[in-house]
Amino acid sequence: MPGAAPAAAAARSWEGGVATEPSVAVLVPCYNEAVSIAGVVREFRAALPRATIYVYDNNSTDGTAERAREAGAEVRAERLQGKGHVVRRMFADVEADVYVLVDGDGTYRGEDAARLVRLLLAGRLDLVNGRRVTDLAAAYRPGHRLGNRMLTGLVRRIFGNRFADMLSGLKVFSRRYAKSFPGLSQGFEIETELTIHALELDMAVDEADIAYGERPSDSPSKLNTFQDGIRILRMIGRLVRIERPLAFFSCGFFLMAVLALLLAAPLAVTYLETGLVPRLPTAVLATGLMLLAFLSLVCGLILETVTRGRQEAKRMVYLSIPAPPGP
């Protein structure tokens, strides 16, 4: 029955006007994490004993699903390869009041997750991000640290200065965040999209320090610093075009207009001196560039209006979902 799931979730949180124990789901996307997944399941079950732990296996070939099932997790599968596909499936399938999203590599602690859950419930927030803190160089390599700082800084400058570690693999969400998240990413760039979704809807968010440990020595990282960094940059550019169209197309307007003026300036000087236009192709090129510049600006103005309407619609969907229960 349509609407039955949200109503059931609300009933779990509020019965007769009295708050009940909120339901918590721990979501663990996994690809070839057989070495660490059993320990992750046990640790998070100990830290969040009332939570249901879901491990979504993403075409693993090393027995990850079997290890997770033996440790007591509810194991499901997502065949489309990539963390973005897995997170989208998790949010669609799982019903809970609070969602804990954590990597299955054993680098995050269950007690930190429990603390973030308490922080979310106490403040009735929609997202609490774990800000990684570690002195282990092998756990948080300098290249990854620099890349994270640069990409997070870019998002903070464009979309809002509310997070310092957007690529963290430990995040806690409210139900209305999870059920209003569209999810367009395929791979590791999902972390960027998760952050920008909260910033664009002005959700109630927070960030807290968490410990970040080293992966097991026989469990190599799936993250490719340069390849995934480029994919994240592309996702940021895509989201700027979608969510900030006037700023995006204004950049095109400015570049083309400046180039057109630089090409036209010598022609204008010659024309004023002699009354002739000696380089007709250059004049045509300058005119075409200026027309394209103003076309880009008009596109930005129109799409800015469309984007505002789309953001209002997303906000209404978000507000239609029950708010996070109190502590």
Last residue of a domain, one of 186, 220, 241: 241
Tens of pLDDT, residues 88-133 = 999 999 999 999 999 998 899 999 999 999 999 999 999 999 999 8
51 and 183 within one domain: yes
Range of the domain at 161: 4-241
Residue 72 has pLDDT above 80, yes or no: yes
Helices (H), the chain: 4-13, 37-47, 64-70, 83-93, 110-123, 142-159, 175-178, 190-200, 225-243, 245-274, 280-319
**pLDDT at site 138:** 52
pLDDT confidence bin for 11, thresholds 50/70/90: very low
Mean pLDDT of 242-250: 89
Residues 147 and 77 in one domain: yes
- Residue 170 — pLDDT band, cuts 50, 70, 90? very high
Q: Count structural domains, the chain.
A: 2
Asked whether residue 162 is assigned to any structural domain, the reply reads yes
Tell whether 218 and 310 lie within a shared domain: no
Q: Assess whether 157 and 10 both reside in one domain.
A: yes
Own/partner contacts of 233-238, CB < 8 Å, gap of 24 or more, are 233/151, 234/189, 235/185, 235/189, 235/192, 235/193, 236/151, 236/154, 236/155, 236/158, 236/192
Q: Does the reported pTM lie above 0.85?
A: no
Residue that terminates a domain, selected from 241, 257, 288: 241
Q: Do 172 and 229 belong to one domain?
A: yes
Longest dimension (CA), the chain: 88
Same domain, 78 and 183: yes
